[in-house]
Amino acid sequence: MNQYRLVLPYPPTLNTYWRHTRGKNYISQQGRRYRTEVMALIARENLALRLTSKLCVKVWVHVPDRRKRDLDNLLKAPLDALVQAGMIADDSLIDDLHIIRAEPMKGGKLEIRITEREAA
């Protein structure tokens, strides 16, 4: 079982990730900027592995402040960005997903551990 660890910047929420105009949905400028930042990080760390096995993903969310937040609104942007960056072939490969609220920190961040699961 291979395991990968990475730290990503704090993502935009679903409320700011998508935009809707004239009946069309598209990723906002903020969402595209986040995706580009993650793609650069994955390239710099040589993690464009295009993982195709089933995955277990554990995410520690360091929120930027102590305001109330729904953690489940945070994962769309980073998981899509990992696919776009070429680290994961498709986010449908994630069979086991854990989200953990960690200590708040200025600016926020995500600590992610991705583990390839063994074939049954």
pLDDT tens-digit map of 12-22: 887 777 777 88
- What CATH number did the domain enclosing 41 receive? 3.30.1330.70
Say if residues 19 and 28 touch (Cβ distance below 8 Å): yes
Which of 63, 64, 60, 35 has the alpha carbon at shortest distance from 114?
Answer: 60
Terminal CA-to-CA distance of the chain, rounded, Å?
A: 13
User: How many structural domains is the chain composed of?
Assistant: 1
Which of 59, 64, 68 has the alpha carbon at shortest distance from 99?
Answer: 59
- Identify the domain containing residue 96 by its residue range: 3-116
DSSP string, 49-68: --B-S-EEEEEEEE-SSSS-
Report the chain's mean pLDDT, rounded to a whole number.
Answer: 92
Scanning the structure block, which residue is given the tokens 């994955």?
42
At 39 the pLDDT is 96
**pTM for the full model?**
0.88
